Amino acid sequence: MGWKFDFATGSSSGVYRVAGSTWAFAFRYYSPQRRCRLQSAVAARAESMAKPRTHQFDTLTLHAGAVPDPATGARATPIYQTTSFVFPDTDHAAALFNMERAGHIYSRISNPTCAVLEERIAALEDGVGAIATASGQAALHLAIVTLMGAGSHIVASRALYGGSHNLLAFTLPRFGITTTFVDPRNLDEWRSAIRPETRLLFGETLGNPGLDVLDIPRVAALAHDHRLPLLVDSTFTTPWLVRPFDHGADLVFHSATKFLSGHGVLIGGLLVDSGRFAWDAADARGKFATLTEPYPGFHEMVFVEESTTAAFLLRARREGIRDFGACMAPFTAFQLLQGIETLPLRMAKHVDNTRKIVAFLREHPLVGAIGYPELPEHPDHALAQKLLPRGSGAVFSFDLKGTREQGRRFIESLKLFSHLANVGDAKSLVIHPASTTHFRMSAEDLRKAGITEGTIRLSVGLEDPEDLKEDLSRALHAAGKA
């Protein structure tokens, strides 16, 4: 006969032998707190019976869009390195061409490896679909040319990546599409720049180079008041830091070259559609004729009739990718899928390292202003807390106090930070915008863009933060002596 009470679990148990038979008992004492916890666990289980079946972000980064290869069972997404796909018969071929059947025809228009990537980024952004493009620039171009032609107008944030600025300010006007640039923080400027021929509002989640945080909810609301879509460049944030569609944006694009790929090995872009914008709303009629009027280039197709939620992507693929041809290569898509598999892990570490570097630089006498929205002095600090609770990314600029020569010395003394024109690599990067990415800008424009001779931009990688601080410390010391 024995009896014991287990204080850890609150259970007692024992074995009694009575008249030749054995009785076992187990009794569990539940404290009121424990009872309460158990009851809520039971309630949670009951609730879970009618819980929507969905998957969480981290699961989607690994699985969305990818099923084991039906032909071979390959678990990794195969690289479908082929230009074209055999038609089972002529009727099937015609049906594929006329959008009556699902499938692939020619890898400029779609490719199975790229399609997995497109589904994956759509899943992560909560969009209805996506198109993989040759570069981030190609994604921006595709978005614009799908929505408008000569005579149209865009209102864009002034704090843009230099390449986007070039396209909008210098190249597209030659094709009749003009842009008014506005201070992204000034809603009145956005509003007063809108004209009858405006077709799009455009900004970056984190602007260049001052990390102006785009107030997506307010700019989106303004856009929608005017029956216009908001396009957001989410390159610096990735869906791990913010999903612009959750805040009202209608279209998102990424330079997938950066954090989505994460390893500095490829050039690629992704254009994602939320599926929410009503292109054919009664009061928007005529504004988006590419989507609401018959298209002679595809059997008089009216894209909004063909697809209620994805007319934009349909036209972007059936016209933009078909005719302009800036598609992504399947090998690039494969590498991007590899990158995205570790996006949550990498972004967490990127942000963590960045916080440590920012804290370090802040204490250094040679360092002036630091443009990082998590710092209380950043003009968008409060907005960043709201829109970017997981962090403000891993790219930021700071001012080196001193001469141009000291700036040169600083950059050349760095050993771990590579001096190059890119961001979002697993390795840490550095650049001097005034002499490189922004060298074409006048002094006045530089000042407007918030760039000085001493501005240094860092893209913080995944190295040990102590080693990065050590590298910066040594280079700052060298700069101080120059």
Ligand X SMILES: Cc1ncc(COP(=O)(O)O)c(C=O)c1O
Name the nearest CA neighbour of 317 among 148, 172, 126, 111: 111
Kindly give, in sequence order, each residue whose CB lies less than 8 Å from that of residue 116, ignoring residues fewer than 6 positions away.
65, 66, 77, 333, 337
Token code pair at residue 231 = 């396009």
Of 61, 118, 161, 172, which one interacts with other proteins (CB under 8 A)? Answer: 118
Bond before 209 cis per omega within 30 degrees? yes
Residue 394 beta carbon to ligand X: minimum distance, rounded to whole angstroms:
12
Whose structure tokens read 């893209």?
459
Does residue 65 touch other proteins according to CB under 8 A? yes
Q: In terms of DSSP bridges, do strands 455-459 and 129-133 run parallel, antiparallel, or are they unpaired?
A: unpaired
161 binds, among ligand X, other proteins, none (CB under 5 to 8 A by kind): ligand X
301 binds, among ligand X, other proteins, none (CB under 5 to 8 A by kind): other proteins
> Please, how many CA atoms are within 13 Å of residue 190, restricted to the half-sphere of its CB?
24
Window 166-195: residues binding other proteins (CB under 8 A): none
Does residue 161 touch ligand X according to CB under 6 A? yes
Residue 430 beta carbon to other proteins: minimum distance, rounded to whole angstroms:
36
The span of 102-110, 156-164, 175-183, 209-217 binding ligand X (CB under 6 A) equals 156-164
Please tell me the count of residues contacting other proteins according to CB under 8 A: 55
Residue 250, classed as helix, strand or coil, is coil
Residue 73 beta carbon to other proteins: minimum distance, rounded to whole angstroms:
14
For ligand X, which is the closer residue by CB, 107 or 164?
A: 164
The DSSP element (H or E) to which 178 belongs, if any, is strand 178-182
396 binds, among ligand X, other proteins, none (CB under 5 to 8 A by kind): none
Of 61, 80, 120, 399, which one interacts with other proteins (CB under 8 A)? Answer: 120
The span of 10-18, 46-54, 107-115, 232-240 binding ligand X (CB under 6 A) equals 232-240
Window 119-148: residues binding ligand X (CB under 6 A): 135-137
Does residue 257 touch ligand X according to CB under 6 A? yes
Residue 90 beta carbon to other proteins: minimum distance, rounded to whole angstroms:
13
Does residue 126 touch other proteins according to CB under 8 A? yes
Residue 237, classed as helix, strand or coil, is coil
Compute the distance between CA of residue 199 and CA of residue 155 in angstroms, rounded to an integer: 8
Of 79, 87, 119, 345, which one interacts with other proteins (CB under 8 A)? Answer: 119
129 binds, among ligand X, other proteins, none (CB under 5 to 8 A by kind): other proteins
Residue 315 beta carbon to other proteins: minimum distance, rounded to whole angstroms:
13
Compute the distance between CA of residue 478 and CA of residue 309 in angstroms, rounded to an integer: 57
Compute the distance between CA of residue 397 and CA of residue 449 in angstroms, rounded to an integer: 12
Contact between 84 and 108 (Cβ < 8 Å): no
Please tell me the count of residues contacting ligand X according to CB under 6 A: 15
Contact between 301 and 294 (Cβ < 8 Å): yes
Cα 162–chain centre separation = 18
Compute the distance between CA of residue 253 and CA of residue 44 in angstroms, rounded to an integer: 38
Strand order from edge to edge, sheet including 2-6? 2-6, 11-18, 21-28
For ligand X, which is the closer residue by CB, 161 or 360?
A: 161
Q: Where are the beta strands (DSSP E) in 227-296?
A: 230-233, 251-255, 269-273
Does residue 302 touch other proteins according to CB under 8 A? yes
Compute the distance between CA of residue 479 and CA of residue 152 in angstroms, rounded to an integer: 48
Does residue 210 touch ligand X according to CB under 6 A? no
Does residue 75 touch other proteins according to CB under 8 A? no
Residue 464 beta carbon to other proteins: minimum distance, rounded to whole angstroms:
35
Whose structure tokens read 């005719």?
323
- Write the CA distances from 358 to 197, 418, 443, integer angstroms: 43, 18, 27
Residue 50 beta carbon to other proteins: minimum distance, rounded to whole angstroms:
4
67 binds, among ligand X, other proteins, none (CB under 5 to 8 A by kind): other proteins
For other proteins, which is the closer residue by CB, 193 or 321?
A: 321
Interaction site with other proteins (CB under 8 A): 50-55, 60, 63-67, 95, 98-104, 110-112, 114-116, 118-120, 122-123, 126-132, 274-276, 278, 294, 299-302, 305-310, 313, 317
